[in-house]
Amino acid sequence: AQKKRAPSYVGVFSKTLEKRIHRELTLKDGLSEAIELNQFHLLYQPIVRASDCHVVSFEALLRWTLNQENIPPDEFIAIAEQYGQIRHIGAWVLEQACKTASLWPKHIAVCVNVSVVQLQDDDFVALVVRLLERYQLSAERLHIEMTESVFTSDISFLSEQIQALQDLGVKVSIDDFGTGYSSLSSMQDLAVDTVKIDRSFVNNIDSNGHAIITAVMQIAKALDYSVVAEGIETQQQLESLRQLNVDYLQGYYFAKPLTEQAVQQLLSSSAAPKLIRGS
Ligand code: C2E
Ligand code: MG
Ligand code: MG
Ligand code: MG
């Protein structure tokens, strides 16, 4: 006689788990040929000086289209880190960003997200030197945004790498400051140039975010870091952040991430493009 199957919760759970693993492996396989198949491109989001809203730099943000689907970087970067693909992809990003920025006016910098996994690589600094040379980009125009998605055990090597980049003239920032591992200890152990306050605090600026940003500003000023706030979406947030003396601002209120062509258009519209709504 056939045995009746008891309803299995394990089965339900393993179905979702199975789906997740399948998705992860599909993305992993896809990532390994995404460069060759031209599936990546970069968008560039302006960063403005808080005092007058002049554009000072653009952050390069990676986009991946796989079978008509836009896979968000928050999903695929983690996979690329996990499967050792981030070095290859990161080198591609860095090269594209340097090449593009070399066409911009000399006072405009490009900010590139670099995973701590890449920074741990012995060859990373040499790669930066090579690309700056190849595209005749002065080091001051390259900003490295360190994204700390995995815990770093070798903080002293990381600190050496950061110093080597700074010796070249490259600026280094801690991204998503205040979240995950990017906390006070990284400020203590790593002498960076800039901290980028995570957008969750800007989003909460009417409540607890205000006190937190105030505290971050105090520490940043004492340690001589400049501060960028991310995720500004309203005029009110702009005003509050100005009052808190945040140096630079980035967010949909000024502009969404733009194509290379849209950046060119913006940069050719004026010698010192300014981004304020309705003006
Ligand atoms: P991130 O470096 O903190 O970049 C800022 C993210 O916030 C971007 O998301 C941007 O599109 C989004 N954003 C900007 N302004 C606003 C706003 O006003 N409101 C809201 N809701 N969002 C805003 P995106 O492009 O999806 O990138 C997500 C993350 O993926 C980045 O966060 C970064 O950690 C990572 N990432 C992106 N490109 C690269 C890359 O080339 N290399 C590495 N290693 N990581 C990358
Ligand atoms: Mg960033
Ligand atoms: Mg960030
Ligand atoms: Mg982030």
Q: Report whether pLDDT(1) > 60.
A: no
- pLDDT cut 90: percent of the chain above it: 80
Asked if the ipTM is above 0.85, the reply is yes
pTM of the model: 0.94
81 Cα nearest atom in ligand 1: 44
Q: Report whether pLDDT(7) > 90.
A: no
Number of helices followed by number of strands (H, E) in the chain: 11, 9
Cβ within 8 Å of residue 136, ≥6 positions away:
102
How many A from CA of 204 to the centre of ligand 1?
A: 18
Q: What is the pLDDT of residue 66?
A: 97
96-138 pLDDT, tens digit each: 999 999 999 999 999 999 999 999 999 999 999 999 999 999 9
Amino acid letter, 263:
V
Pocket test for ligand 1, best of 31, 113, 252 (most atoms within 8 A of CB): 113
Q: What is the pLDDT of residue 185?
A: 77
**Ligand 1 atom 17 nearest Cα:** 231
The interaxial angle of helices 9-34 and 73-82, nearest 10 deg, is 80
**Ligand 1 atom 7 nearest Cα:** 231
Interatomic CA distance for residues 48 and 36, integer angstroms: 34
217-241 pLDDT, tens digit each: 999 999 999 999 999 999 999 999 9
Q: What is the pLDDT of residue 279?
A: 45
Amino acid letter, 274:
K
Interatomic CA distance for residues 60 and 53, integer angstroms: 19
Pocket test for ligand 1, best of 121, 147, 232 (most atoms within 8 A of CB): 147
List alpha helices for the chain, DSSP H.
Answer: 9-34, 73-82, 86-101, 116-119, 124-134, 155-168, 184-189, 199-203, 208-222, 235-243, 260-268
- pLDDT cut 70: percent of the chain above it: 91
